[in-house]
Structure 1
Amino acid sequence: MLDDMDRRLLRYWQAEPSLSPGELAERCGMTPGKAARRIAKMEDDGIVQGVSAVVNWAALGYAVEVSLRVTLDKTQSNAFDAFLAEARQVPEVIEVQTFLGRVDVRLSIIARDMAHYQQIYRSRILTLPHISDIEALMQVARIKSEQTLPI
């Protein structure tokens, strides 16, 4: 699927996402056109799904992050779909994951402070449909958060 040159491009790009195709080409020892074509192919193949800015939520005043483990009432046939559709609409929910097992869904929520979190929890989270059980885990520290792959 990927050859050595593709892997080299990805290693440099992951290390410095702001590099242009020309800069990547120079570092990889290829022409800018060839680098651009390889990048476009990786995008077309779904290997690269875009370049995004990483926002430091704490720098914007969001000091609290809470992980909610949610178990849904699965006696309703549309429980997952209805819950997920409404959870996506809560702006402070920055991540939604689904699981197999006792916990069905995990929500990551950011808030300015505990009072703001309590407001979000009471007015936006507890009103989501089909919740059977919910457990909150308050994040104390982020030790590792890595998006790069060892290519």
Structure 2
Amino acid sequence: MLDDLDRRILRHLQSEPGQPIPDLAERLGMTASRLSRRLEKLREGGVILGQRAIIDWRALGYEVEVSLRVTLDKTNPRAFDEFIGAARKIPEVLEIQTFLGQVDVRLSVIARDMPHYQQIYRAAILNLPHINDIEALMHVARIKSDEVLPV
């Protein structure tokens, strides 16, 4: 279980993940060594999974995002594993989600522009194994994209 100090640490980390440990410790009113021990405990407990850089793919020239809803041919017992294994190899596929229901998998695909997307779609996506049906949804706007948790 998390105590109040753990929750305060997590709130501060989420708001400013790149801040140095001594600065964070000072804000929390504790020593850097005590904070380091707490952070290590949170990592060992699987609460903090790591830190990462979030890169704005638009700043790198990618202007198009398409969400593909895929229904697989489930007559093959390896359909999910083989589809996901192949989809992971496509660099422009940023996210893969699986579902229970009519749609089996959702892929989030980025491209520089529509001709680039068409190239990815025809050369890579359509060659993924066990596809029964694909529905493409063009992203217009991202209204909320937040990984901050209410701790």
Question: TM class by shorter-chain length?
Answer: over 0.9
**Counterpart for residue 69 of structure 1:** 69
User: What pairs up with 1:2-151 in 2 under 5 angstroms?
Assistant: 2-151=2-151
Q: Which segments of structure 1 move beyond 4 Å, counting only runs of 4 or more?
A: none
The aligned amino acid for 2:131 is I
The aligned amino acid for 1:60 is L
Corresponding residue SS for 2:35? helix
Corresponding residue SS for 2:119? helix
- The structural deviation recorded for 1:42 is 0.8
- The structural deviation recorded for 1:106 is 0.4
Cα-to-partner distance string for 1:5-54 (whole Å, 9 max, x where unaligned): 00001101100011122111111111111111111111111111111111
- The structural deviation recorded for 1:68 is 0.3
Equivalent pairs: percent with the same residue?
63
What CA distance in whole angstroms lies between the structure 1 residues aligned with 2:37 and 2:137? Answer: 44
Structure 1 gaps, min length 5: none
Corresponding residue SS for 2:85? helix
TM-score (normalizing by structure 1): 0.98
Give the superposed CA RMSD. Answer: 0.6
What CA distance in whole angstroms lies between the structure 1 residues aligned with 2:90 and 2:69? Answer: 16
What CA distance in whole angstroms lies between the structure 1 residues aligned with 2:48 and 2:117? Answer: 34
What CA distance in whole angstroms lies between the structure 1 residues aligned with 2:24 and 2:145? Answer: 24
What CA distance in whole angstroms lies between the structure 2 residues aligned with 1:45 and 1:84? Answer: 29
Corresponding residue SS for 2:69? strand
What CA distance in whole angstroms lies between the structure 1 residues aligned with 2:131 and 2:103? Answer: 11
TM-score (normalizing by structure 2): 0.98
What is the total number of aligned residue pairs between the two structures?
151
The aligned amino acid for 1:42 is L
